[in-house]
A and B are shown apart, each in its own frame.
Chain A
């Protein structure tokens, strides 16, 4: 009985270690494939895409999980700013293009080009470079 239990525990351990190794290998391979553009991969991060969409929709509340923690006062000020922008200066995004990016260690950089039309009808075409660390956008330029 003890022998069977030991055999089962050992087998489960081997299986779990294998699963962990498989998960890590798949993650590393995914990053390599994204960065190198193999198999048609654009390399775009889901985190930065969500960040850009929230930004263009003037919706800071949906960025909460993908950027560093802020104090309640900072969050309130940001929501206030977004409300004012929505009411006074509506923007119309014309295009959102992922230009590319790269990863070094735990840091990755993703660059976008944004084309938008302001309420006054002026077109603006500008880039944004987002730095991601630990699954969050830690820098925006």
Chain B
């Protein structure tokens, strides 16, 4: 009798889980349709990869050689409020008429020790990083 009761409870719980998944599927609407064309993704530009690798490796020396001081200031602003970078991830790159944008997501800790995530984009032209957004 007890076994039957336990099995019935488990079955009810399983049905509930299934119901929850169905409700979530019904409520979770995808993004609205994009009325504009989307550019095709391209491979990560080498120059941008080197800059982000230096950030990920906490290698200030390499970073100082790769980009100029104004871009370092822009990069610092883009990474705020993260001061301790934990991970860097390339999320995509696109190109329009020779202008390349290479996007990254960085996770790390703020000065208060809070986990945070920021995104930034490196502009690349002629195999050189020319800007930070």
Q: Do A and B bind each other?
A: yes
Let me know if A100 and B103 touch, CB within 8 A. Answer: yes
Number of interface residues of A (CB under 8 A): 53
Of B37, B78, B115, the contact of A94 (CB 8 Å cutoff): B37
- The size bracket of the interface on B is 35 or more
Within 8 A of B (CB), among A17-59: 17-27, 30, 44-46, 48-50, 53, 56
How many Cβ-Cβ contacts under 8 Å join chain A to chain B? 170
Tell me if B113 is interfacial: C-beta within 8 Å of chain A.
no
Name the residue on A nearest B89 (C-beta): A102
Of A15, A22, A105, the contact of B21 (CB 8 Å cutoff): A22
Q: Mark contacts of A53-79 with chain B using CB atoms, 8 A cut-off: 1 yes-contact digit, 0 otherwise.
A: 100100000000000000000000000
B residues whose Cβ falls under 8 Å from a Cβ of A: 8-9, 12-25, 28-32, 34-39, 41, 78, 89, 91-94, 96-97, 99, 101, 103, 105, 107, 115-121, 133
Of B17, B89, B94, B101, the contact of A21 (CB 8 Å cutoff): B17
Name the residue on A nearest B40 (C-beta): A97
Let me know if B39 and A97 touch, CB within 8 A. Answer: yes
